[in-house]
Structure 1
């Protein structure tokens, strides 16, 4: 069998496999979190979250799409770590201060930055 024909079969099989994988992962809504930012946000979202008296939809949106500012965060404290998360909502920059414990996460502060 010539090389080009084998290469064509190989590439056809790889393409078919990628299509099947994309179908299964889209159905399962699988999320790949390899960056530290993504892992922290996913960890916080997986716990019971206590919100202050403010807009929970905005806080939920920032916990999904925000950026963790590790330079302002306290990641060394022992029972609960404190993370500062920044995000945009309706063109306003919002900063959350979240205390991340073993089984719960508490949103301590919501600051609207200009």
Structure 2
């Protein structure tokens, strides 16, 4: 079960940074908190309109780091909080996860699926 403050962060708009490891260096891409969907089995589903480099990186190394936060949710030391999520990523272009996300985000070409391994509150 994900911590309640993280679920609240996902309900407030903010930027999500997604880090993958490329051949020569790390790669970062951004999305929005409001684009994150939590599946019934606690995986993060993220619509991918582009994310071609992220997809290529994940095909050879599935480790993914995400950071997200919100100034609207109380944190460890006052207003605002943030989280670091570690997990394993994959891209899907068909099936129930894809179909459900395509209904919400008609522009997506794939869904980035993150199986969460750990969540750390950073702020």
Please indicate the TM-score interval, normalised by the length of the shorter structure: 0.3 to 0.5
**Comparing both structures, which one devotes a greater share of its residues to helix?**
1
**Comparing both structures, which one devotes a greater share of its residues to strand?**
2
TM-score under structure 1 normalisation? 0.36
TM-score under structure 2 normalisation? 0.34
Larger gyration radius, structure 1 or structure 2: 1
